[in-house]
Structure 1
């Protein structure tokens, strides 16, 4: 796996400056499936499912999540990115737990708004999600 183009950014949880693999943008005016093809060979992989039962992490091809794990001189770096109708956003974290928490909050938003299929017994807030639904689907690997 190639790290591809590196970018200077700051981690969300520790606010430290880091160099990390850039999340590719789809400049071909395609859909999320095209973006998924662009991720091939980079440090990024698509995150299709979330939580204990593997509910949708997005709504392909309109809302897609990707994750990357890398290391620098100070340790591990975790990141997630989104591609929502062609617009990309990237979030970096020193702590993998902080990254998982941020993903859970964003995935919850899509579940609660009806944009993605999630648990039938969805709580009122992301903070109320059971611990088992605040982390990656156990059947998923990157």
Structure 2
């Protein structure tokens, strides 16, 4: 389902390398991004701070339409994607969370399935979604 929009909104700031990932969180939040600390109904770790950190935000285009941004900081490198709807954005984050958990790069559920398509609903989305 991951449909990325053609909208180009605010990007995650470039890492200035004056600190570590913890310092970068403040940089990103100052630029309007919200850090993703936990994911899934039971609130498992998303990423592995200070090395892997996820961020989210909303932005509007010139016509006032909302777009949903997902940014990822990995050891100083940043990527940003925007989606036309919240569900597509959440799926992109679900996919990364699944990969981080499956590969042991983040503390997640002990029974993560091998295939993303088999990931239970309780491991998707924000806690209390």
TM over 0.5: yes
Q: Deviations over 1:78-135 (max 9, x none)?
A: 0111111111111110111001001110111110010101111111111111123221
What's 2:28 paired with? Answer: 39
3-state SS of paired residue (2:14): coil
Equivalents in 1 of 2:125, 2:50: separation in Å? Answer: 22
Q: Deviations over 1:30-76 (max 9, x none)?
A: 21111101023322111001001110101000110010112221521
CA distance in 2, matches of 1:95, 1:85: 28
Tell me whether 1:85 sits opposite 2:75 in the alignment. yes
| Structure 2: 5+ residue stretches without partners | none
Query: CA RMSD of the aligned region, Å?
Result: 1.7
Distance in 2 (alpha carbons) for counterparts of 1:40 and 1:117: 23
- Residue number in structure 2 paired with 1:112: 102
Residue 66 of structure 1 corresponds to which residue in structure 2?
55
Provide the C-alpha distance between the structure 1 equivalents of 2:4 and 2:90, rounded to a whole number of angstroms: 15
Distance 2:104 2:46 in 1: 12
Alignment of 1:113-132 (within 5 A): 113-132=103-122
Alignment correspondent of 1:48: 37
CA contact (8 A) 1:26 1:34 kept: no
CA deviation digits over 1:1-23, x for unaligned, max 9?
xxxxxxxxxxx72543x241121
TM-score, normalised on structure 2? 0.89
The unaligned stretches of length 5 or more in structure 1 are: 1-11
- CA 1:74–1:86 in 2, change beyond 3 Å: closer, same or farther? same
TM-score (norm 1): 0.82
How many residue pairs match? The answer is 127
